[in-house]
Copies of this chain bind each other. A is one copy, B any other.
Amino acid sequence: MEYFSREIGRLIGELSSLPGIGSKSAQRLAFHIMNMPKDDVKRLSDALVTARENVCYCRECQTLTDDEVCPICANPKRNHRMIMVVEDSRDMAAYEKTREYEGVYHVLHGAISPMQGIGPEDIKLAELMQRLQHEVDEVIIATNSSLEGETTAMYLSKLIKPTGIKTTRIASGVPVGGDLEYIDEVTLTRALEGRTEL
């Protein structure tokens, strides 16, 4: 990109290394940033460094946070005896948006994947088992509906069974608004198996 001057070229390079940002978007962002007030750029740059510097795992649920305990775990109104296990912090955010879940979470930061060499010891499983030594009524396994997510769910349920704690898995089936015609066979089979009485 010798037609961009050095600093702008460097910024475009840095931006395009982020996920989902190709060279075209990076260019557009860089020129947008060049036209932003200097103070706004400084604020963005500070937000990056500050967030990264202060980030740590929540002592309880292991989500990324900048306090010792994340806002959800610190909330006394949540049901701390119900734990939803998710693969990452974004999944937690997705469930929070529903405003339907009152319990707390546990973030694994990944899923078991023999293909990618990720074993049970590479995700935050030990921390979960530690938490289950306190009083817990139910563990809801909300890992993704992918091969890795299912493997993790299976492994988890086997691990938790001996403790006697109720373990559930979120339902798999046809998404709301989904058209049967376009839904894959595995999902349709799951939806059939998981049918409930009306």
* A interface residues with partner B (beta carbon < 8 Å): 1-8, 10-11, 13-15, 18-21, 25, 27-34, 36, 38, 41-55, 64-67, 70-72, 88-90, 92-93, 96
A43-B14, A55-B7 known; A31+B70 contact, CB < 8 A? no
Kindly report how many copies of this chain are found in the complex they form together: 2
List, in ascending order, chain B residues with CB within 8 A of A51's CB: 7-8, 10-11, 30, 33-34
A75: min CB distance to chain B, Å? 9
Closest chain B residue, CB of each to CB of A41:
B52
How many angstroms between the C-alpha atoms of A2 and B78 in the bound complex? 14
B33→A65 contact, CB < 8 A? no
Closest 9 CB pairs of A and B: A5-B65, A11-B51, A3-B96, A41-B52, A7-B51, A45-B45, A7-B66, A14-B47, A11-B47
List, in ascending order, chain B residues with CB within 8 A of A53's CB: 38
List, in ascending order, chain B residues with CB within 8 A of A32's CB: 18-19
Closest chain B residue, CB of each to CB of A21:
B29
A58: min CB distance to chain B, Å? 8
* 14 A-B residue pairings within 8 Å (CB atoms): A3-B72, A4-B71, A5-B66, A5-B70, A5-B71, A11-B47, A11-B51, A20-B25, A20-B29, A31-B89, A34-B52, A34-B55, A44-B48, A45-B48
A27-B93, A66-B5, A66-B7 known; A48+B34 contact, CB < 8 A? no
How many angstroms between the C-alpha atoms of A41 and B52 in the bound complex? 7
Among A15, A30, A47, A89, residue most surrounded by chain B Cβ atoms (within 10 Å): A47
List, in ascending order, chain B residues with CB within 8 A of A67's CB: 5-6
